[in-house]
């Protein structure tokens, strides 16, 4: 009888010891486990660059850009008519010359752009005999006369012109300044025009070409 009680006691004690050991192992495993907790609250991604420049100046929303020939990215090309004997420098114009201001419109963006150009006000100058016109080309001009400076086929004002990323469109303001416009030398019918030309050279070292070109660039949408 006593042996039976002792045997039962040892069985219960053994079970209790086993449970204790298992609990200790479980507890020690929990204490040794790495544990981390956190929350994702913000994700930052890179956005494509958007920059279109006109004559080297960034085109910004509602920004009015005033460009002049002394801007580094605008090139003045001067050619001369047969009447002029001395070769003209490319940074100065005179009666008897024709030429153009090259204004590059460059898409420095990571995406294509649609560029729309409106000739809001045609360019004029104080020299009444001077002819002025504005044309668009996809490549740098290589014309040999004022008349050859023409709007390239497929390009025009008030329409979207696709300019791919890292590409450009060329805007040209062209001039033709006749050597003289006297139609009747006996009575000097155009003396006023000649006087204006002389005054321009004598009184003012620069000549302003006044006009307004409104240039709008938008991200291009893929054609359907």
**What is the per-residue pLDDT across 87-99, written as a single tens digit (0 to 9) for each?**
888 888 888 999 9
**Average pLDDT of the segment spanning 197-208:** 69
Query: What's the pLDDT band for 33 if we cut at 50, 70, 90?
Result: confident
**pLDDT attached to residue 117:** 95
Q: Backbone phi, then psi, for 52, in 5-degree steps?
A: -120, 130
Give the residue, 79 or 183, on which the prediction is more confident.
79
**Average pLDDT of the segment spanning 198-205:** 64
Does the pLDDT of residue 24 top 70, yes or no? no
**Average pLDDT of the segment spanning 177-188:** 66
| Helical (H) or strand (E) element with 5 | helix 2-32
Query: What's the pLDDT band for 186 if we cut at 50, 70, 90?
Result: low
Q: Backbone phi, then psi, for 2, in 5-degree steps?
A: -65, -40
**pLDDT attached to residue 57:** 86
Asked whether 94 and 176 are in contact (CB, 8 A), the reply is: no
pLDDT averaged over the chain? 82
Does the pLDDT of residue 193 top 60, yes or no? no
Give the residue, 71 or 119, on which the prediction is more confident.
119
CA distance readout (Å), 109 to 51, 72, 219:
5, 21, 9
How many whole angstroms separate alpha carbon 32 and alpha carbon 37? 16
Q: Which pTM value belongs to this model?
A: 0.74
**pLDDT attached to residue 208:** 86
**Average pLDDT of the segment spanning 194-220:** 78
Does the pLDDT of residue 1 top 60, yes or no? no
**Average pLDDT of the segment spanning 136-151:** 94
Q: Where are the domains of the chain?
A: 52-219
């Amino acid at each position: 009888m006593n042996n039976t009680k002792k045997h039962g006691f040892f069985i219960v004690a053994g079970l209790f010891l086993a449970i204790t050991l298992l609990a200790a192992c479980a507890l020690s495993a929990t204490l040794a486990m790495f544990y981390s907790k956190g929350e994702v609250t913000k994700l930052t991604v890179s956005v494509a660059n958007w920059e279109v420049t006109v004559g080297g100046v960034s085109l910004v929303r509602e920004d009015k850009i005033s460009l002049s020939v002394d801007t580094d990215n605008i090139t003045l090309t001067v050619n001369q008519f047969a009447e002029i004997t001395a070769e003209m420098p490319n940074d100065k114009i005179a009666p008897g010359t024709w030429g153009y201001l090259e204004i590059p419109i460059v898409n420095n963006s990571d995406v294509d752009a649609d560029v729309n150009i409106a000739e809001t006000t045609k360019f004029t100058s104080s020299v009444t005999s001077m002819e002025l016109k504005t044309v668009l080309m996809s490549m740098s001009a290589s014309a040999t006369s004022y008349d050859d400076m023409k709007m390239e086929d497929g390009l025009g004002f008030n329409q979207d012109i696709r300019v791919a990323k890292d590409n450009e469109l060329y805007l040209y303001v062209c001039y033709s300044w006749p050597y003289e416009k006297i139609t009747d030398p006996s009575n000097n019918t155009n003396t006023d025009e000649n006087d204006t030309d002389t005054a321009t050279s004598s009184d003012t070292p620069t000549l302003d070409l006044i006009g307004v070109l409104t240039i709008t660039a938008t991200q291009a949408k893929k054609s359907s």
